[in-house]
Structure 1
């Protein structure tokens, strides 16, 4: 696959993600700001959980020139796009976030300075998410941070409804509501013959995409139960949060 093909599909990926997260680029910048505040200017290792085609991984590496990033995702097609679209300080690993007992050979043994995730962990059921958070607590160094940027409702019924409406209004103002959607992106991808080898490598059983609907407070509780000393949001727009946990 040519790099230009990967770049084209990643650009389309970014655009369809903005249909659901109109402030996605600002949210990425907040994640990067948190990592920078936690690791300083020295060398550091960062793991990107559910990295997809490496959108956040590439931005982290570009913004923090002494940081090495390991992106983790279960989908070989998205990782293939990312491998052709990220630089030398980004390494991509195929692993399932739902079964986070990753062997040392994956390069995920730790200790890590930071872990990040963007619009990925709401797909994990609560038990799998709790197991992942325990793994993060074990592999992050003391003082390391986990940064989760995702849709997480505030956790109060009326406020949740208002928060969702706020995000919808922001989407309308940003003009991203008519962007290609998730299903359209995947359908178009399947019609690109250049991507046939990557498509053939995908699992026969589709990856489950059932939202866990956990609130931001419930995520924070799971993180503290896993061994993090602090967990709280540092950025919010509607029901979209950046949640930071300190090991």
Structure 2
């Protein structure tokens, strides 16, 4: 969809600020992911798949850090994809696909990626589908390529204290929202709806994600679940790449 968005750069910045308010260590986790990409490619320009990539946050940082890299952004949200197209300006492929459907891989421009990265997105998929997706992702990587998933992944060894850490984060975040220091996710989307240039995209988004729909819930298993799922998917090496409080990034090496 080639809809024109007025002030797209400002909206990209607005999205980043909203995400940073939700995840204060957002840049730290993204830097750790790109460090892993650097190690996987020995500094050569990577072929990246930015999975559930939204506005192209990971791709933008990849293209800045690795001149000559190629990037493919996959998401289903038409608003976020339009912002990705505007922000990337033809420097990356931007693909609309539903990760709930195994046929999403058919929409990709190629299947020999050095790295597949995703952040704060896989928690919307149910366990059986995420398990299958991990296998599909492995099939897209060249030998030695990496997959990294950063999300809320509780530490199995800290079931009580980990919950306390999470509650503290939520309290601080809610206080900032209440004081107007930052926009919540829902407030950001309400703001988007006030911009007439998003009207057609919002209508399409509402068809994909009907307002008030039921059955759309977060699923946040402990990190051990992800590591076992990666091993079952056939990754030769698996482990924890990064951790910050209740969040972590797991890595699988093909």
Fold equivalence (TM over 0.5):
yes
Query: What does residue 56 of structure 2 align with?
Result: 54
Partner in structure 2 of residue 41 of structure 1: 43
Match of 2:189 in 1: 186
Matches within 5 A, 1:61-100: 61-100=63-102
Does structure 1 conserve the Cα–Cα contact (< 8 Å) formed by 2:38 and 2:44? no
RMSD: 2.4
Q: Is the partner of 1:222 in helix, strand or coil?
A: helix
| Distance in structure 1 (CA, Å) of the matches to 2:183 and 2:36 | 30
Contact 2:72 2:95 (8 Å CA) reproduced: yes
Deviations along 1:68-95, one digit per CA (max 9) or x if unpaired, are 1101001111100110011443211001
Q: How many residues align?
A: 245
User: Shift of the alpha carbon at 1:213?
Assistant: 1.4
Match of 2:30 in 1: 28
| 1:1-247 mapped onto 2 (5 Å cutoff) | 5-102=7-104, 104-107=106-109, 109-155=110-156, 156-165=158-167, 167=169, 178-206=181-209, 209-247=216-254
- The TM-score, its normalising length taken from structure 1, stands at 0.90
Q: Which moved more, 1:44-53 or 1:197-206?
A: 197-206
**Unmatched segments (≥5 aa) in structure 1:** none
Q: Distance in 1 between matches of 2:17 and 2:222?
A: 26
Gaps of 5+ in 2: none
Partner Cα distance (2:37, 2:123) in 1: 21
Give the TM-score normalised by structure 2. Answer: 0.87
Q: CA deviation at 1:166?
A: 6.1
Deviation at 1:139, TM superposition (A): 1.3
